[in-house]
Structure 1
């Protein structure tokens, strides 16, 4: 079934066509028709499967063709809750692209920026509000935000919401919403805690689960290479320089590690962008935009930012550090192989990270392919970096010494 066969407004079909989408993905095919019927949906789908559009398309359709076409100051009709600012901005882009030409007004409400312009925007009228919990509750407590007319609630990336401790915020928002509403609950992973939360929010939901036994996208070829911790920077440098067409997203565990890796790359002449939670929102937005536009070919990021990076042409994900939580591995590698593109992910595993690797394999239910490095290759990589960064004088001295040895 093609998108032009769906009962959607012409404006929405035109927007879908401009985005180059012809047929729905599995999660879109299974979710859209149920959401259009007003049913509650619990959707479990891995990253890169088109999950956002699975609820964005029908939500925009319902609001665009609904009876309440006249916006009111308290007339927010759909609330989309997300755990991070990056995700909010990502969803804002998807919703805005799909809603072009419709009556639907979308706004992303996040922290890290001045609130007065946000309040003014809310007063002008918003149909779909995409919000992170912190700023949303700030404005609710100030009386600057009303949710009494919301009849569609979307919880996206519910697993990360729980990991970040937002479960009380999720439950707390229910007191601000009408009881009779449509609830859409989406998550990339599923466990008992998520199930328990979901079934307290949705009523007789349509449950949709895509590839639950294989959380890694089929578009991603992922493997592991065993490297000493102190040598990882040399392998990252060599891979970058020997693959000039590659666009790399490199993940580390902490903000400090992100800064250190970025500086290590700068010392060998590689410009890399950095992305972590301690940066201001403006700086984070600029870094993402620069990476998206190709200003540089490498970004070094922490897990907090992982799910908000939706850049279609990332060719490689490098797990420079293994994640502390095994489900974060799924979200990291899902940043490549987006849509119908192919992607490659490499994990640099140090001896003290083997337990984390085994946890990932247990979580995914698959044994990650090992890339074998012989001793010569390993030494060549360390030598590659050392030679590549020698001054001209040092290179001349080394050449003279080599010539003397030959004589």
Structure 2
């Protein structure tokens, strides 16, 4: 690994001035380690197999190389038209992210380098754009293959570069057959790049299929964080204590900033969300049941700071068997209208552009080392810092050992330096929170989880643009859905919102008192301004102070009092 002082700058790669201006606009101060090593190799036209952690800058490696080559070729011969580069990704979210990154890098040369993301819309919608012969295509293998078979594309005449991003996921997401079929539509000679955070058997198989004498760039996981950016902590606990811990960590402000909370399973998503709602902790859910547009909207709100917590299910799951038949019918009609199966092109730990994530909390520890790598890769991206906190039980010991063996520095013995740092936390100090946690957890029943999932799906169906035509033809179905019973997932208990002083540990009282004082000041000033404005309005409007006498003389009450005496 090169020393930080010897790191190359972007202008040393011989890049086009327009590309350098875009990089400066994005405020990329210097290349990351993978960019420093891999960009020169890609610009030389060599096949590349690059392994580096999530967030280390792999997307910029192929994006900069593609744009530079297209600008150079068009400078030599501006009449060459057709798709020069094809980028294959496993999920719609990653397709959107990759195309956005390329568009950002082409902000000063968008006329010369045109990018199209084909993963977001149907074949008919994208056909006119493809007939204009864009320079770069981004999409999932199934969508690209669909366009090739529909003769919307011809790659044999113009393709120069093929990129597989998150290559280890492409086969595991069920794209093996599509990729093998797709290779028959490619020219005999092209440059190929495989980008992955792990080197699995699937990557080796893909390597044999598309690469020819590749240069392998393999960075250790410990090299990815150049500023010592990722701090990894563990809290060992019992399974039943996880809800108590997450409540205390969030309510006592021990976890601050934008946070991703990972769970294993969709039911766990809603269970945790409804649990946190009992304490007025706002969060949003991200899972494979939600449509693509809704997932993108949730991520945008998170990136804007509207939500501080996202609860993400890191496993695709079957839709609940308890969904009523009417909604099942609507869901099936939605799938048939789009020509797609249930959304398998979904990934939370990878492929979603979460911005400025400060913490990753593994509420449920991942089942594989690869999943752990990709989860914690959502924070400490590039040169930023971040924290990863895992709540672990005795059943997680095997995976934890495997993670430590994979990610611990080779040069340092495990006895001297450990990957995970025990989080300094005393369970005795939060024992008083237990009854409140149990009270809230009792309110989150199986029925409430079912209703929360059903309510979310029902909302998505009513707001779906693709089902508008269906509802216009079947207005009675829309009426039935709208007038269905109102769903109440859980009953919020107001007394759980605030923490009594006697429950707050002594060490935490100073910081919590400061934050509560700030909230009180803002609350008081807000209501003072509100009262003053209302008072002025009452002065201006005399009718509001008028009181009717009901045909009663003003002195009648006084006379009655005298008679009683």
Give TM-score, length-normalised by structure 1. 0.88
Q: Which residue number in structure 1 is paired with residue 212 of structure 2?
A: 203
Q: Which residue number in structure 1 is paired with residue 420 of structure 2?
A: 368
The farther-off stretch of 41-50 and 184-193 is 184-193
Matching of residue 94 in structure 1 with residue 101 in structure 2? yes
Pairing 1:83-232 to 2, within 5 Å after superposition? 83-102=90-109, 103-110=112-119, 113-148=121-156, 149-211=158-220, 218-232=228-242
Q: Number of aligned pairs?
A: 395
Q: Residue 116 of structure 2 contacts residue 138 of structure 2 at CA under 8 Å; is this kept in 1? A: yes
C-alpha displacement of 1:381: 4.5
Q: Secondary structure at the match of 1:377?
A: helix
Q: Residue 327 of structure 1 contacts residue 363 of structure 1 at CA under 8 Å; is this kept in 2? A: no
| Counterpart Cα distance in 2 of 1:206 and 1:93 | 27
| Counterpart Cα distance in 1 of 2:229 and 2:297 | 28
Q: Residue 232 of structure 2 contacts residue 421 of structure 2 at CA under 8 Å; is this kept in 1? A: yes
Pairing 1:211-360 to 2, within 5 Å after superposition? 211=220, 218-243=228-253, 245-303=256-314, 304-360=347-403
C-alpha displacement of 1:181: 0.2
Q: Residue 232 of structure 2 contacts residue 419 of structure 2 at CA under 8 Å; is this kept in 1? A: no
C-alpha displacement of 1:236: 2.0
The farther-off stretch of 350-359 and 38-47 is 350-359
| Counterpart Cα distance in 1 of 2:404 and 2:292 | 34
Q: Secondary structure at the match of 2:349?
A: helix
The farther-off stretch of 125-134 and 228-237 is 228-237
Q: Residue 32 of structure 1 contacts residue 54 of structure 1 at CA under 8 Å; is this kept in 2? A: yes
Q: Which residue number in structure 1 is paired with residue 507 of structure 2?
A: none
Q: Which residue number in structure 2 is paired with residue 31 of structure 1?
A: 38
Report the CA distance shift for 1:245/1:361 in structure 2 as closer, same or farther (over 3 A).
Answer: closer
| Counterpart Cα distance in 2 of 1:387 and 1:8 | 61
Q: Secondary structure at the match of 2:73?
A: coil
Larger radius of gyration: 2
Report the CA distance shift for 1:379/1:56 in structure 2 as closer, same or farther (over 3 A).
Answer: same
Q: Secondary structure at the match of 2:213?
A: coil
| Counterpart Cα distance in 1 of 2:30 and 2:40 | 14
C-alpha displacement of 1:139: 2.5
Q: Residue 71 of structure 1 contacts residue 127 of structure 1 at CA under 8 Å; is this kept in 2? A: no
C-alpha displacement of 1:356: 3.2
C-alpha displacement of 1:127: 1.0
Q: Could you report, residue by residue, the CA deviation over 1:344-389 in whole angstroms, capped at 9, with x for unpaired residues?
A: 0001113333333334334434653333544413514535757998
Q: Residue 312 of structure 1 contacts residue 338 of structure 1 at CA under 8 Å; is this kept in 2? A: no
The farther-off stretch of 52-61 and 370-379 is 370-379
Report the CA distance shift for 1:48/1:393 in structure 2 as closer, same or farther (over 3 A).
Answer: closer
C-alpha displacement of 1:173: 1.7
Report the CA distance shift for 1:166/1:24 in structure 2 as closer, same or farther (over 3 A).
Answer: same
Report the CA distance shift for 1:201/1:298 in structure 2 as closer, same or farther (over 3 A).
Answer: same
Report the CA distance shift for 1:43/1:134 in structure 2 as closer, same or farther (over 3 A).
Answer: same
C-alpha displacement of 1:232: 1.9
Report the CA distance shift for 1:165/1:378 in structure 2 as closer, same or farther (over 3 A).
Answer: farther
Q: Residue 214 of structure 1 contacts residue 364 of structure 1 at CA under 8 Å; is this kept in 2? A: no
C-alpha displacement of 1:340: 1.2
Q: Which residue number in structure 2 is paired with residue 405 of structure 1?
A: none
Q: Could you report, residue by residue, the CA deviation over 1:151-193 in whole angstroms, capped at 9, with x for unpaired residues?
A: 2000111112233232333322211110100001111111354
Q: Which residue number in structure 1 is paired with residue 476 of structure 2?
A: none
Report the CA distance shift for 1:135/1:49 in structure 2 as closer, same or farther (over 3 A).
Answer: same
Q: Secondary structure at the match of 1:308?
A: coil
| Counterpart Cα distance in 1 of 2:278 and 2:495 | 16
Q: Secondary structure at the match of 1:186?
A: strand
Q: Secondary structure at the match of 1:301?
A: strand
Asked which structure has the greater RCO (Cα within 8 Å, sep 6+), the reply is 1
Unaligned runs of 5+ in 1: 400-407
